[in-house]
Structure 1
């Protein structure tokens, strides 16, 4: 009799990431005493399994398997401390038993030739069927929620006796009603059966198999080897690599889009660590969290919460209180019926926060090792929690941190996100970043490693490549700006050459308008970064002269949508000129704005916006503003054009226009001249002009309305004590109140 014929196979069907399942697996393995443990997982990562026993390995962690030639094609196999597969792995490693993964290798599944290959952003957990077997079983048992049913039946269960037999029977019954498996699922189960046969051939006598419950029936009933071999013959292959990476509890949850996830991984971790006093200790944790947030949560409240949860469990016919009962009890007692704190409990406790840890011995691409070294030396440890980091670029450490974060953004590794665009910042020496490490950024790091082995070399190579591919000037200038922020001196010269070459050939004013602000920012920020900016300034000055020449012509014959786009470009250009702080340059810009103001062919929105920018520069006297306002808002001007001019003029800070008496008088006269039909027709346009003002600003405008005189002489303000035409005021007040969104009685 062969050793293979005498071998015994014990299939333990589990639900991924369940403390009850994990506890049952440990108990079953202790009872079976196997000499090999086979786990549903990627055989491509077998060489990494011993690292799971490393003292520095702290779940949650995940195996990352990726295509070497196409790193974006990657999958994750997450493990929490309460995952049955993790406990099976720990059991085997603690006893130096042979342990193997038996799922279909990812070298077949990540090949571009494989129709079933995962998408680049795929996140996979082995053993996830397309159907919802838990939901079907829950409905048969009278539950509406499969998660809740499994939680009560398995995860809170203290006695594992008979669990796997019952799960196998239930899954066998469910699969009898299912049709044919997909080719992909059929190949997976064929490979798992082949792996079991191989274990028998290798002489193992007591074989324990830990797999998803759905697959258990297919592994218990072996099929002829030739049928499985036929399914697995001729599969495509790809060169793959694997590594361990840190993972987070929120990525184990349903909300991450992770199909085999669990809704409340933090609760499951609690059940694993505190199985005997789960209800009491959970209520205490909620109270601690609420106290940390400055909310009342006394010991008496905790006791009442526990009592209520247990009472609810009894009323619902449950043997013990679960998460649903604790949630309802906490809402009633600790949260006083307010669901808002309960959302915090869900995020911080039920889902959970924190990032796992992997040992430094874990194999990784050189870029990942360089990034880890930089994170350590700059004291910027990755964290799953969103944290704000304030940087002062005058300090060496903060400047190096900023440089790293900017370089990572160039590599499409968005670990940090600027809280404010540096172009809009009034202080060039300060940056504010929001940092949050997403486990999936590990794939981005692998992808970026194609450009270099260090963050600096990879970012430099990425910039040079993008510069060579760029066909638009604004793309190049934005790239130059990013390279300056990243202090990539080797790339800056290359990008500058491309900018110089393209700028001399470009005569498209809108494109020049898009490009100039980035150049201005590069000049200003380059000085902060101690980068030579002379060549950049020379290019910027050349663009500036061509913009001044072509701008008036680029502002005529525009429809409303194009006019709004050009208005935004004017504002950005205005800010860029101010950033360069050049006296002669400012004078030339003011003259060009004046040309737009007085050119009738220019769209009304742009004439108003240009006048507004002139006022900001202090180049428009009150008398001139009054004259231009009366002309633009005269009855002879079509109402739509007048409304567009008004929007261009007043949009921005209300304070700048609040005390311009002649402007308000012209607005008063224009509104009074409109017919009822014309007013109703153009009200949306006028209201849009005032839409961005705050309530306080609109209230101040209402106060200004009270002081309007009926006939200002030559733009001079009349005394505030002058008699007003009550009938005229009565007509104007409701109109302006409608526009400004201020109630009549507030300005009466």
Structure 2
């Protein structure tokens, strides 16, 4: 007996009804459903009695790629009604598509994304013919709003047009060849009994043709590569994740509306849609009057009549509500007139309307559902460390027990597990903080996130290491991001990276093009390499390789910088600070070439084509590393002391050799002499950069400078007495406010950047 092919659109109530009614009437021997064939041995698990929506999540990981994909099911998914109706009539149930990890689905994030979106020429022509905005409105017009009579024929005609003569890609062809072998084998085994085939409508024409001849033995299940880690688990899903407006590729937006359509029909769905929008807007203190609702209803009814709908469709109701509730001009098109995520600038009322249509339904797995090892490990560890509740958590990182708790929370943060918010604590290149504050919040999204993260490993440490390795490999060229990821690895207690990842990391640092970003990476990594007590990363091989590569590259980049003027570039100055610190603290253990670094610094300090801040920083680098200046510092200062460049050169010098300047006899006096000799005009030109330069001295050293200069100028009077301010607090506050306004004006005009 021939097969009955039911081509459907995924997540369509009309198709779901058709599938259920056809299978009930046909009572087939087999019901074959587009879905991952490796789930056939676990169909009983799928049918345990979950609260939908749920999804089959599959993760794949090998040395070359990692892939995660979902096959979501809700009550009005045709695939779900095929399984439930088939089970009710005693049919054999089979998924017949390739497993989600297979290369043919490598680009597919959601299995039940509609294929016609990839072959849009016909649907665009149909949209023009029926005067609708997009394929969603076209689908409602042709199928969801129309009577069930003749639905199968209309669907067949529609999908034949969509498929047309288009040549599918090799991935679709591989999937269709595999599904066709299942169909042929089922037909051979069923004999005179019927077979029902439920697949995406795009595949239907090809499957009808391919089922006519070929191998009739049951197909084998493809096996993943030997080095791959593959896992498939059921996860709770949500309408929010199903919604096309939130980025899901299903092609069916507004799942909450379609749930009402499935349960109650089009007239009731229109009424419930209006109620949902009204309740949501009023809950957010938006005015929605009875007059507004009457106007919206009248507009929706009129639009339905004009558009040929027996009852108001989704877009009719939405257009009616928008016309009644939004009076001003819209900066972005109405989201239901386009496809995909809402555009930036959407009106707040429109955003709330779309959210109301999405619905807030969240799936729940049956208590007997198997879960990946990571879920059990996380639940056990959260309970053991007393982190399984809600509230504020303060961790003293100086205590080993709290450090272990911190590492667990950071591992879960890296895995994007919701409900764990870090309020404060250590951060890259920040102060040496020994306290962390976290906020723990119960979240319905935690279990799905843990199940999906299970593809990275069986416990939090292994999973976080795999996730960080993947991100480091993917973003190695982004040095700012790289520094944060390496810091995350330390916070997670994952100090060592090996093999190809370490090679890629060193290669990316060695090819860096931005001196400022490279300097930040070197600063962060050096701090982690030096301070073992907090992160347990002291003398790390991974970090040592990064330090060596970054030091060499930073000096090479610095020598290539030419031109430039005020203001001083603090990022490249900080890069030379990082180089100095690396040579000082890690030079001997890591075998860094200090003589080569000194040679580069001397050349750069003497290069008149280099920017003044970099020349000053290079002079300071050589001075601080040797303990003595290679040239007379007084002469160097005099040679660069012009109003336009003096402050920038000094900023570089003070940043790298602040203590040397402060404790070298005559240096402060020389600076006082040079500044005092300036004309008023020259002083105003130099002042912003001079202020920036002297900010490198901390308050205590500024006090020393001020005291010595006051004593010099007053013949030995007390600097402290002269600096003590005899003014009312109100006057001091007014002066501070004036300083702030001046700083703001200088920053606005680009005269200072700090």
Q: Could you state the TM-score of these two structures normalised by the residue count of structure 1?
A: 0.62
Matched, 1:455 2:463: no
Structure 2 match to 1:238: 224
2:453 equivalent among 435, 438, 445: 445
Q: Residues 391 and 399 of structure 1 are in contact (CA less than 8 Å); yes or no, is this contact kept in structure 2?
A: no
Residue 312 of structure 2 aligns to a residue whose secondary structure is coil
Who is 2:251 aligned against?
A: 261
Q: Provide structure 1 residue ranges, at least 5 long, that are not aligned to the other structure.
A: 1-6, 112-116, 383-387, 577-587, 657-661, 663-695, 706-735, 742-748
1:166 Cα deviation after fit: 1.6
Does residue 1:37 correspond to 2:45, yes or no?
A: no
2:148 counterpart of 1:167: no
Instruction: Pick closer, same or farther for the CA change 1:627–1:572 going to 2, 3 Å.
Output: farther
Q: Is 1:701–2:742 an aligned residue pair? A: yes
Does the 8 A contact of 1:413 with 1:444 survive in 2?
Answer: no
SS in 2 for 1:296: coil
Rate the CA distance shift 1:462–1:198 in 2: closer, same or farther, 3 A. closer
Which structure 2 residues correspond to residues 195-594 of structure 1 after superposition, within 5 A?
195-203=182-190, 205-220=193-208, 223-226=211-214, 238=224, 241-254=231-244, 259-275=249-265, 276-298=267-289, 301-337=292-328, 340-345=347-352, 348-352=355-359, 356-359=363-366, 361-363=368-370, 365-371=372-378, 373-374=380-381, 391-393=393-395, 402-408=406-412, 422-423=427-428, 428-431=434-437, 445-449=453-457, 453-457=458-462, 459=464, 481-482=487-488, 484-487=490-493, 514-517=521-524, 520=527, 558-559=561-562, 563-569=569-575
Q: Distance in 1 between matches of 2:57 and 2:745?
A: 66
SS in 2 for 1:225: coil
Distance 1:377 1:272 in 2: 45
Q: CA deviation at 1:77?
A: 1.9
SS in 2 for 1:243: strand
Change (3 A) 1:571 1:295: farther
Distance 1:410 1:737 in 2: 38
Structure 2 CA distance for partners of 1:218 and 1:88, relative to 1, 3 Å: same
* C-alpha contact (below 8 Å) 1:408/1:415 kept by paired residues: no
Aligned ranges 1:665-704 → 2 under 5 Å: 700-701=741-742
Describe the superposition over 1:32-58 as per-residue Cα deviations: whole angstroms up to 9, x where unpaired: 333432111121211222222223443
Question: Compared with structure 1, are the counterparts of its residues 52 and 287 closer, same or farther at alpha carbon in structure 2 (3 Å cutoff)?
Answer: same
What is the RMSD computed on CA atoms of the aligned residues? 6.1
Cα distance, 1:60–1:341 mapped onto 2, change above 3 Å: farther
8 A Cα contact 1:64 1:76, kept in partner? yes
Say if 2:277 and 2:353, in contact at 8 Å, map to a contact too: no
Q: 1:722: which partner in 2?
A: none
Which stretch of structure 1 is more off in the superposition, 428-437 or 319-328? 428-437
- Aligned residue for 1:685? none
Are 1:252 and 1:261, in contact at CA under 8 Å, matched by a contact in 2? no
Give 2:92's aligned residue: 98
Task: For residue 148 of structure 1, report the CA deviation from its aligned partner.
Answer: 0.3
Seen in structure 2, the aligned counterparts of structure 1 residues 233 and 70 have a Cα distance that, compared at 3 Å, is farther
Task: Identify which of 123, 132, 137 aligns with 2:126.
Answer: 137
Instruction: Point out where structure 2 has 5 or more consecutive residues left out of the alignment.
Output: 331-345, 583-619, 701-705, 707-736
State the alpha-carbon separation in 1 of the partners of residues 274 and 67 from structure 2.
43
Q: 1:522 to 1:235 in 2, by over 3 A?
A: closer
* Distance (whole Å) between structure 1 residues aligned to residue 189 and residue 305 of structure 2: 52
**Which residue does 1:124 correspond to in 2?**
111
The answer for the alignment partner of 2:55 in structure 1 is: 61
Alignment correspondent of 2:71: 77
Aligned residues: 607
In 2, Cα distance between equivalents of 1:448 and 1:368: 12
SS in 2 for 1:210: strand
CA contact (8 A) 1:248 1:354 kept: yes
Task: Measure, in 1, the Cα distance between the counterparts of 2:290 and 2:257.
Answer: 21
Q: TM-score, normalised by structure 2?
A: 0.62
**C-alpha distance 161-120 of structure 1, shift in aligned 2 (>3 A):** closer
Task: Please state how far the C-alpha of 1:154 moved relative to its aligned partner.
Answer: 1.9
Q: Map Cα deviations across residues 299-331 of structure 1 (whole Å, 9 max, x no partner).
A: 554444333322332344332222323223333
Distance 1:461 1:46, change over 3 A: closer
Cα gap change, 1:414 to 1:704, in 2 (>3 Å): closer
Mapped partners of 2:652, 2:125: distance in 1:
67
For residues 419 and 403 of structure 1, the distance between their equivalents in structure 2, rounded to whole angstroms, comes to 15
Match of 1:583 in 2: none
